[in-house]
A and B are shown apart, each in its own frame.
Chain A
Amino acid sequence: MFQNRAEAYALALPAAIFAAIVFLIPVGLLLSEGFRSAQGWTLSAFVDFFSQPLNQKVFLRTLKLGVMVTAAAAVIGYATAYAIVSLPPGAKGRMIGLVVLPLMISPVARTYAWIVILGRTGIVNQALMLVGLTDEPVRFLFTETAVFIGLLQLFLPLMIISLISALENLPKDAVPAARILGANWFQVFWKIILPLTREGLIVGGTLVFTGSLTAYITPAILGGSKVLMLETLLYQQVTVANNFVAASVIAFLLIVMSFSANILLRRIATARNRK
């Protein structure tokens, strides 16, 4: 450890000041606009915003989809990550490569692919009709289901990767030992895996939840105007209605939601651990 304080500040401050100017100040100004009126500080913009049923609905839908995508990603993520870390090293590396692969592809293209896949004549509907699950093509496009699928595909890799690095640190014999001692899979997960991988879950969960809240392309293309989410509503408020106050309110909500998610996940994970 070096002690020279002036040197330390000279090294660290440029980055912090840069972030403050490019980030904190403009974003802070934008957020403050939602609380200001000609008469001074006020919450009226928030009251106005939530007094419209459409906005309430969009807010709840965004929250709901965020929670659902995060939960689904956690369940699928654990199963996948566990399967991957149990593989021999070579195969494991290749699998991780495949998980990372979608992150290299433009989200614009990844989202458009779903228009083809989920269409009335797309492969999902063809498969469903082939196995006789439905006679009529099911409508997926421009529904919450389509947005859910699109978001899950977009963000699942982040959860899997976070969980893989967490599971790697799990003592190799912990799970077999518990099984021999008669614990069922549910108990093994709840008592051993979850407490020991909670950091991974927190990181992955925050990334997936925040990502789902703030994705623009997926709700815009797969949801359209029938499935507005906060992010697409924000865009609409700015570009169509020129309403910067509503935009500030939405921005504030988005930031509060991502911060709360992080805190909440941290709480849940540590609470489980204490037992």
Chain B
Amino acid sequence: MKRQAVLASATALILGLGLGSAQAQEKTLTISVYAFAQDEYKKMLYDPFEAQCGCKLVVETGNSVERLAKMEANKANPVIDMAVISMADALQASRAGLIDAIDTAKLTNFDKLYDIAKDPNGDGMSVGYTFYATSIVYRTDKMQIDSWADLLKPEYASHVAFPNITTNQGPPALFMLGEALGQNTPDLKAAIEAVAERKDDIVTFYVKSSQLVQLMQQEEIWAAPIGRFSWAPFTKLDLPLGWATPKEGQTGGMNVMVLTKGTKNADLALQFMDYWLSTEVQTKLAEALVDSPANSEVVVPDEVADNITYGEETASSLKLIPSAVALDNRDGWLAEWNSKVGQ
């Protein structure tokens, strides 16, 4: 390992390449976020923040696992200052020593947060900024969904897109499926097996939820488990679509903010987090159906509340997989999935 690093450095030096990227004169904050609704975020969050702090925001997008893998690769030389990732990924990042504790005293909006968002993993390393329900979007004219298990009915399965195990929605959906099958063990074995039996019928195991809008519009699929945050584009389709309320309940997740270990812009990053958690920004994002608020002072009209995951009561009713359980079983799920469903 060492020798190849030396070799690589030597070759680069021979080429006379500049080391390190040029530091911009202006203060910049590099953030890493989910790759959805960037137009809205820009308008409601990034632009106003840039105007306020007199700094420049550089945004990296991608899904949670991908970005976590990048953080891990760049551990010695952190590229990003703060990231928003899933709760379980935050715990993994914390165990891998990629993130720093968040000094919540510097967040003026911290006290306004719902209690469950204040320290989701109980380790002081992350703060929740939004949560979402995960349920099933489906064609109300083609099918009836009363239970998570209905997705696998022979007449429905060939019109279903199921989340891949590597996505944020995959494990929660399997968790609820296990619940419906009455065999809910942390290894998700029964649920994975049930999906495996229908794997040839199921249209695709999706990785990016945005693709589902196109598939739904083309009638390629009739149903898919999704997070509430990706619901908005479906409402614009000219199709009879519903949000299922299965008898086993809804699952979901919380997304959290983390601070990269070794960042030189910790104060600026905290300032950005605080702004994101403010009542003003959280209200705007909620009204645009982007993020359901974690700030308890946010008040939204009913028609908005009906389309997001609003209120602490709703949030606490979600059946979530605890981060530690998710983390301890992750490799096992992936192996099980790959051997049963993947092939």
Which residue of chain B lies nearest to A220 when distances are taken between CB atoms in the complex? B207
Among A225, A226, A241, residue most surrounded by chain B Cβ atoms (within 10 Å): A225
> Does A119 have its Cβ within 8 Å of any Cβ on chain B?
yes
Whether the Cβ atoms of A239 and B214 lie closer than 8 Å is no
Task: Give the interface segment out of B4-12, B52-60, B144-152, B311-319.
Answer: B4-12
**Distance, CA A225 to CA B167, complexed state (A):** 12
Contact residue among A21, A238, A240 (Cβ-Cβ distance under 8 Å from B15) = A21
> Does A156 have its Cβ within 8 Å of any Cβ on chain B?
no
- A21-32 vs B, CB cutoff 8 Å, 1 = contact: the mask equals 100011001000
Whether the Cβ atoms of B7 and A242 lie closer than 8 Å is no
Whether the Cβ atoms of B343 and A54 lie closer than 8 Å is yes
- A113-151 vs B, CB cutoff 8 Å, 1 = contact: the mask equals 001100111100000000000000001011000000000
Whether the Cβ atoms of A224 and B207 lie closer than 8 Å is yes
> Does A171 have its Cβ within 8 Å of any Cβ on chain B?
no
**Distance, CA A181 to CA B15, complexed state (A):** 64
CB-based A-B contact count at 8 angstroms? 68
**Distance, CA A23 to CA B44, complexed state (A):** 44
> Does A201 have its Cβ within 8 Å of any Cβ on chain B?
no
- B72-86 vs A, CB cutoff 8 Å, 1 = contact: the mask equals 110000000000000
Whether the Cβ atoms of B339 and A226 lie closer than 8 Å is no
Known A-B contacts A54-B343, A116-B218, A240-B166; the reply to A26 vs B8 at CB < 8 A is yes
Interface members, chain B 315-334 (any A CB < 8 Å): 334
Whether the Cβ atoms of B69 and A239 lie closer than 8 Å is yes
Interface members, chain B 66-116 (any A CB < 8 Å): 66, 69-70, 72-73
> Does A110 have its Cβ within 8 Å of any Cβ on chain B?
no
> Does B65 have its Cβ within 8 Å of any Cβ on chain A?
yes
> Does A213 have its Cβ within 8 Å of any Cβ on chain B?
no
Contact residue among B15, B69, B158, B203 (Cβ-Cβ distance under 8 Å from A141) = B203
Residues of B within 8 Å of A122, CB to CB, are 218
Contact residue among B8, B166, B204 (Cβ-Cβ distance under 8 Å from A29) = B8
> Does B338 have its Cβ within 8 Å of any Cβ on chain A?
yes
Which residue of chain B lies nearest to A21 when distances are taken between CB atoms in the complex? B11
Residues of B within 8 Å of A239, CB to CB, are 65-66, 69-70
Interface members, chain A 7-56 (any B CB < 8 Å): 21, 25-26, 29, 52-54
Which label, helix, strand, loop or mixed, suits the secondary structure of the A interface? helix
Chain A nearest CB: distance from B151 CB in Å?
16
Q: Number of A interface residues at 8 Å Cβ cutoff, please give it.
A: 27
Whether the Cβ atoms of B203 and A139 lie closer than 8 Å is yes
Chain A nearest CB: distance from B162 CB in Å?
10
Residues of A within 8 Å of B72, CB to CB, are 242
**Distance, CA A26 to CA B8, complexed state (A):** 8
Question: CB within 8 Å of B: which residues of A?
Answer: 21, 25-26, 29, 52-54, 57, 115-116, 119-122, 139, 141-142, 224-226, 228, 236, 238-242
Question: CB within 8 Å of A: which residues of B?
Answer: 4, 7-8, 11, 14-15, 65-66, 69-70, 72-73, 158, 164, 166, 199, 203-207, 214-215, 218-220, 334, 338-339, 342-343
Give 11 A-B contacts (CB < 8 Å), ordered by A residue: A29-B7, A54-B339, A54-B342, A54-B343, A120-B220, A121-B219, A224-B204, A225-B204, A239-B66, A240-B69, A242-B69
Beyond contacts A122-B218, A239-B66: 16 other A-B pairs, Cβ-Cβ < 8 A, are A25-B11, A52-B339, A53-B339, A54-B338, A54-B339, A121-B219, A139-B158, A141-B204, A224-B207, A225-B205, A226-B199, A226-B205, A236-B166, A239-B65, A240-B66, A242-B72
A-B pairs, top 10 by smallest CB distance, nearest first, are A119-B218, A142-B204, A225-B205, A239-B66, A54-B343, A54-B342, A224-B204, A54-B338, A57-B343, A242-B69
